[in-house]
Amino acid sequence: MKRRQFIKGSALAAGSMIAMPAILRAQAATEFSFFFPVAVGGPITKLIDKFAQDFEAETPGMKVKPIYAGTYQETIVKALTAHKAGAAPATSVLLSTDMFTMIDEGAVVPIDEFIKTDEDKKWLQSFFPAFMLNSQTGGKTWGIPFQRSTVVLYWNKDLFKEAGLDPDKAPNTWAEQVEFAQKLTKRDGAGNVTQWGLQVPSSGFPYWLFQGFSTQAGAILANQDGNKTAYDAPGVIEALEYWVDLAHKHKVHPTGVVEWGTTPRAFFDGKCAMMWTTTGNLTNVRTNAKFPFGVAMLPAGKRRGSPTGGGNFYISSKAPRAQQEAAFQFARWITSAERAAQWCVDTGYVAVRPDSFDTPILKKYTDGFPQALVARDQLPHAVAELSTYDNQRVTKALNDGLQAALTGTKQPAQALKDAQVEADRLLKPYQRT
Amino acid sequence: MIDRRMRGWLHAWLLLLPAMALLALFTHWPAVATLVDSFYSTPRARRPSVFVGPDNYHQMLADPIFWQALTNNLWFALGTIPTSIALALLMAMWVNDRFPGRTFVRMAFFTPTVLPMIAVANIWLFFYTPQIGLLEQVRGAFGARAHNWLGSQDTALAAVTVVAGWKDAGFFMIFYLAALQAIPPNLAEAATLEGASRWHFFRRVQFPLLMPTTLFVLVNAVINAFRMVDHIFVLTRGGPDNATTLLLFHIYMVGFSFWDTGYAAALTVVLLVSLALLALIQYGVLERRIHYR
């Protein structure tokens, strides 16, 4: 017997509204809908519409219906609600870290089912290995990398010059990062900081930027099976102590939680000389920074390191077979070298495959804007974004610990120990299988 | 004779039917379904839902974030309800008088209500931002030390409370303004003749006559204090370390981020029951003391 969920009332209403077109379309076997995470209209929806049209023109008998579903969070809510109501869109772009959640809900099918020809196999091998880390588990591929990003360091060359630093050289190591930041932090007569050396955002999803620090300290936060975390490993504690020290000991980084959304603004206004943020901000910084800026790989601790981020294509388990096949064709088509390159130029996301960078369109772009190459060069050092079963809850345990340490209510070691205890409790059911 | 009465009944029920159907479909049925679901475990693909009795409620008692959300919510309610009502009354008294630019002031007070909460929160986000935010620039001009309002646990909850109070006040003002204008002007004339001070007139005449409105506004303010969480998503996402996690925000996270729908149902039941109790108390206790004209 099917159990009701607490959301059933609203879910059924919303779900049937979402699902109805899919059911109607099911009669025309090669027409399928596609959930895409865009909050508002604008250039991105136009790009996707264009892709959909081109795909229809090139592959007769297929119809793609892109549905713009809001933020990533709203999109997965809609996709899973539709799934539970019995009719899901054939494909959705969701966070790569939602892989375990989607598997756990039984909402996705492995991509391997659709790989038949040698050409298919070659295509699956064509992505950057760093992006496949969040797309594969248990020997299967569940997601196709599409709009992917990573964390990089942006710096203000004018402020570097002012501080007597070489404007073309970003910090290469943790020690240099502190040293540079000290030179770049300015205080007024009363001791108030007017310019911070470095800002690393910690609101909302601090774990993502923290993964830069922890990877550089040589630690890995979770295993590839997604059922074990190592939040309190020595390297992780060392990494958090370094981050906390930037604010409390060296006083080159704001104390408390630094807002993700306003950090680029602070950078544009010269209130912080260096910031860590996503490569997805590249176009934003390029448009709004009124000074020459540089983009660099994150500084190295024991090693270089950064997490990847962003969204993958998933194929729904509830869609009819013909729609699944069509959705696979579409995902394959849109991740060809040329189209991945085009997508990179238009949006600032990292092109998901190495051969995209040899295409004329991307070559032309990076010749005039070499900063766009940094993300690619950093990928060999990149690790999988933190992702486990019961992902959002296990991640939140770490987020809470990080914020507690950054606001000074817990010592880093204690905060991480508490987070690990909580993560262990949550993951226990998944360790037995 | 009976036929006509029957027809009257039928008529009445038919007229009520659309509203009742909608209420039942979107309010009563989901509420009952939620109650039922709160006694079942969360279904997963590999583990179907089973009856677990009060397990979800036990989990709630042991959930530190639930207790923190509850405490936060009480402070949030305590911060928003009296201030927004007092502010609304004050603003209504002011714009009830005749003075040049009255329409403009009325509109200004009402603007926060018209704006969507998400837009409002985005404005306030930059307002609170250290260094570049308006608040910090004003404080900086007076030589105050920089403060990270949303990023420290001591001030984050207060900061989101202020936004909610500011948003609510303009809405409640409209009700007070309408009620003030319904008070017959001869009462004011009589009071002037008797030589009553303005404060005395307010305390003895206006405020008692406004009591029905105050009850209505109070009920709404209480509901809003438990319902308004949109700005949390933009301003803090419940952080730092759950310092601004409110009950409904926690329910959303559990339900739609963690997909633990069974537990979310239990949380929802607790919220529903406490709101129902609050409303009952408000109507039961206050109604007797209210003078309806």
Residues of A in contact with B125 (CB under 8 A): 259, 261-262
Q: Where are the alpha helices (DSSP H) in B195-240?
A: 198-201, 207-227, 230-235
Give the whole-angstrom CA distance, residue A74 versus residue A98. Answer: 13
Return the closest-CA partner of residue A250 out of A211, A198, A305. A198
CA dist B248 to B223, B225, B272, Å?
A: 11, 10, 11
* 3-state SS, residue A291: coil
Q: Which residues of chain A are in CATH 3.40.190.10 domains?
A: 8-149+310-370, 150-308+385-431
CA A216: distance to chain centroid?
18
Q: Are A185 and A195 contacting, i.e. CB atoms less than 8 angstroms apart?
A: yes
pLDDT tens by residue, A136-159: 988 999 999 999 999 999 999 999
Residue B259's closest chain A neighbor by CA?
A390
Q: pLDDT digit string (tens) for A67-108? A: 988 888 889 989 988 998 887 899 999 999 999 989 988 899
Among B266, B26, B57, B261, CA closest to A5 = B261
The candidate with the shortest Cα–Cα distance to A209, out of A159, A131, A279, A292, is: A279
Q: How many Å separate Cα A98 from the centre of its chain?
A: 11
Chain B CA closest to residue A270:
B132
> Is omega for the bond preceding B130 within 30 degrees of 0, making it cis?
no
Instruction: Give the model confidence (pLDDT) of A293-314 as tens digits.
Output: 999 999 999 999 999 999 999 9
- The pLDDT, as a whole number, for residue B151 is 86
CA distance A378 to A307: 10
Map out the domains of chain B as residue ranges: 57-287
Residue A293 pairs in a beta bridge with A156
Q: Which residues in chain B have their CB less than 8 angstroms from residue A106's CB? A: 44-46
Spatial CA neighbour of B79 closest among B201, B163, B146: B163
Q: Which residues are CB-neighbours of B223 under 8 A, at least 6 positions away?
A: B275, B279
- CATH of span A150-308+385-431: 3.40.190.10
- Running along chain B, 293 residues long, what does each successive block of 10 average in pLDDT? 80 92 91 91 78 88 91 93 92 87 87 87 87 81 80 89 90 92 87 86 87 88 89 88 92 89 92 88 77 62
Q: What is the ipTM of this complex?
A: 0.77
Q: What is the DSSP secondary structure assignment for residue A428, as one 8-state letter? A: H
Interface test with B, best of A1, A3, A6, A428 (most B CBs within 10 A): A6
A118-133: average pLDDT: 92
- The proportion of chain A whose per-residue pLDDT surpasses 70, expressed as a percent, equals 92
Nearest to A256 among B151, B253, B258 (CB): B151
The correct answer on CATH 1.10.3720.10 for the domain covering B57-287 is yes
The tally of CA atoms less than 13 A away on the side-chain side of residue A397 is 27
Type and span of the H or E element at A197 = strand A193-199
Residues in B closer than 8 angstroms to A256, CB to CB, are 148, 151-152, 240
Residues of A in contact with B264 (CB under 8 A): 6
CATH 3.40.190.10 given to domain A8-149+310-370? yes
